[in-house]
Chain A
Amino acid sequence: MKQLIQILLLASLVGCGTGHDWHGKDISGLMPDLAFTLTDEHGDEVTAADYSGNNILIYFGFTQCPDICPTALAKLAAAMRKLPEDVQQRTVILFVSVDPDRDTPAQLGEYTAAFHPRMIGLTGSQQQLQTLTRRYRITYGYDKPDSAGQYNVSHSSAIFAFDRAQQVRLLLRDDLGVEQLYADILQLDTL
């Protein structure tokens, strides 16, 4: 009996071995460090290294998305605004548009400004986007355009979180609430 309790205790310790209590899924070490080459809102080519020293939250979407993307981004922005000012200053939300045909750098700039000053819109060529999405084992795709040329884009629903050393840490579901996102970003900042 005593042995069983010891085993259970040990198991519970292993279970929270990192000492962190995340709302998101801890994926530390399960995916590679952040790397990409994309274009920012100013039309400049950027790489992951340009954002080093920041806690990084990456969300994939498109700006013609009326429901899911603004819902997720509004929650991330609200979570950001709750953070102490210094934490906000070392955190960025990278909104990666997988719809480069419609989302020009200028379009992205207009869009992200509606959410948070630390949100940055990025996009790239199909090859650049595929290199990044494959790296994190996600996909995106385009529905057939309708008669008006309108088309929908399917994209990953999760938010990827990287620490300030650009190591992958968390997969945050987009149905987490503002409080939960806030708590996880605050904790991410302590890593």
Chain B
Amino acid sequence: MMKKTFAVLLLLGLLVGGWFWSVSMQPDTTLHIDNPRIRLLPGERPLAGYFTIHNAGDHDLRLVSASSERFGRIMIHASSRSNGQSRMTEQAEGVVIAAGKRIDFAPGGLHLMLLQAQQPLAIGDEVMLQLNLVDSDANARSIEVPFTVIPVQLP
């Protein structure tokens, strides 16, 4: 009797564990981040984080925020030019990555503005950032991405 109960519990455990693994532990194959990098500036200045995000799934996604233990604050920003003036605006609504689309966060355009580095960064460091997204059904989804610290000087 004991044995049977144990076997049932074990089976249940495996089933639940398997389900849990299938929803949360499987590698995300529909969202790709390419070339994640942070451009280093001297001193304690706001830095820019860049990457390419590719939504290979069939649902639109919205990048709503980013967070990291290494920065006090991260904002999604867009630089723009008009009438010879440059300015920067916070993207408070986030950025939509439509199904099948690729969006570049690149110099002179969209970028993460990283404020209050908690400790000095050095070229070549890897810094984990969490990108927080929601899909069209308001399901939240986060990914951890290692950003490489690169020099401001062009090669």
Interface residues, chain A, with chain B CB atoms under 8 Å away: 61, 63-68, 70-71, 73-75, 77-78, 107, 110-111, 113-115, 138-139, 143, 148, 150, 152, 154-158, 174-175, 178
Contacts and interface: CB of A to CB of B under 8 A. Distances in A.
B47 to A, nearest CB: 6
Interface stretch (B25-33, B93-101, B107-115, B132-140): B107-115
A156 B84 contact: yes
A143 B88 CA distance: 10
Given A74-B153, A156-B86, A67 B108 contact: yes
Given A152-B87, A156-B85, A66 B48 contact: yes
B152 A68 contact: no
B120 interface: no
A67 B107 contact: yes
14 contacts: A66-B111, A66-B113, A67-B111, A68-B79, A68-B86, A68-B107, A77-B154, A110-B43, A114-B152, A150-B115, A152-B87, A174-B86, A175-B108, A178-B154
A185 to B, nearest CB: 15
Contact of A114 (B47, B88, B153): B153
Contacts of A64: 45-46
Given A74-B154, A107-B43, A114-B42, A154 B87 contact: yes
B79 to A, nearest CB: 5
B43 A157 contact: no
Contact of A110 (B39, B42, B153): B42
Interface size bucket, B side?
20 to 34
Contact of B108 (A71, A107, A138): A71
A174 B108 CA distance: 9
A175 B41 CA distance: 20
A187 B150 CA distance: 32
Given A114-B42, A139-B85, A154-B86, A67 B153 contact: no
Interface string B66-103: 00000001000101010011111000000000000000
